Chain A
Amino acid sequence: MTVNSNRSTTVGPRRRVSGKVVEKGAASVLVQKPVTKHATITLTQANSAVRAYLAGMKTK
């Protein structure tokens, strides 16, 4: 199995993740996930983004 590092691939029938392909079976591809977790925004940041968008709407 050729190892391609850090490419996006399909795991099982319906999930796409980024990671390192470590083994390929008949029905699925096993992926070793990156060590660092995907950083996500906080609810406060989301609230701020929505407020900024709505404030922009009001000034148009």
Chain B
Amino acid sequence: MAASSPRDVFINCPFDDDFAPGFRALVFAVLACGFRARCAREMDDASETRIDKLYGIIEQSRFGIHDLSRTELDAENSLPRFNMPLELGLFLGAKRFGDDAQRKKRALVLDVEPRRYAKFISDLAGMDVTPHGGDARRMVECTRTWLVTVSKRKRIPSPVQLMGSHDRFQTGLPAIAHAAGLEATTLAYPDYERLVLGWVKAERLAGRLP
């Protein structure tokens, strides 16, 4: 197994339109805290299967954020979506059965309510699941608190710095995207990632982020 990077944070969450504010909030929090966001959306290699791509990302990521909030039945086919629990299982399996580097993995498990997971994935009983109530700003706070705790890094923004920067960025995103020749409502993931990185760089230069 390849060593996992202490900079890489695997984001395992729904990619549907309803969760888009949450996904963007999680990516922002990870990047603004100085880490690298990894997710299935970064993949664009048709020569590799999706699950193989996920194996690679999970293997390389020391940290993982897993959101289990999407448990309802899909409107189109009346079936639940199992990708998030599957990828959480892969992450936990790598940590349990991997080498020394893989055993250093740390996970943040998010859900809408604190103990709801017991009704659909009871094998997680005893694990700490962090509730966010579906609030994207709360997801930023949860991510920041968790990264401070598990990484022991000292150069992570304070809650006030991070939330202020997040709120300013999300407010300005339509104008920033427009300046880059993009449309904020239809941003591809790599475009969004680069806009956040540009924003974080500017905030650091201005002393608003460490």
Which of B105-113, B131-139, B150-158, B172-180 lines the interface with chain A?
B172-180
| Residue contact B180 to A48, C-beta cutoff 8 Å | yes
Q: A46-B199, A47-B201, A48-B179 are in contact. List 8 more A-B contacts (CB 8 A).
A: A12-B83, A13-B83, A14-B83, A15-B15, A16-B15, A37-B44, A46-B180, A50-B176
Contacts across chains A and B counted by CB atoms under 8 Å: 76
| Residue contact B202 to A51, C-beta cutoff 8 Å | yes
Select B14's contact among A14, A33, A37, A51, beta carbons within 8 Å. Answer: A14
| Residue contact A54 to B202, C-beta cutoff 8 Å | yes
| Residue contact A49 to B201, C-beta cutoff 8 Å | no
Bits for B49-92, please: 1 = Cβ < 8 Å to A, else 0.
01000000000000000000010001010010111000000000
Bits for A19-60, please: 1 = Cβ < 8 Å to B, else 0.
000000001000001000110111101111111111011000
Q: Given the interface contacts A38-B188, A40-B191, A47-B198, does A53 sit within 8 Å of B181 by beta carbon? A: no
| Residue contact B180 to A41, C-beta cutoff 8 Å | yes
Chain B residue with the shortest CB-CB distance to A51: B202
| Residue contact B198 to A52, C-beta cutoff 8 Å | no
Select A41's contact among B14, B74, B194, B201, beta carbons within 8 Å. Answer: B194
Cβ–Cβ < 8 Å partners of A14 in chain B: 14-16, 70, 81, 83
| Residue contact A41 to B181, C-beta cutoff 8 Å | yes
| Residue contact A56 to B44, C-beta cutoff 8 Å | no
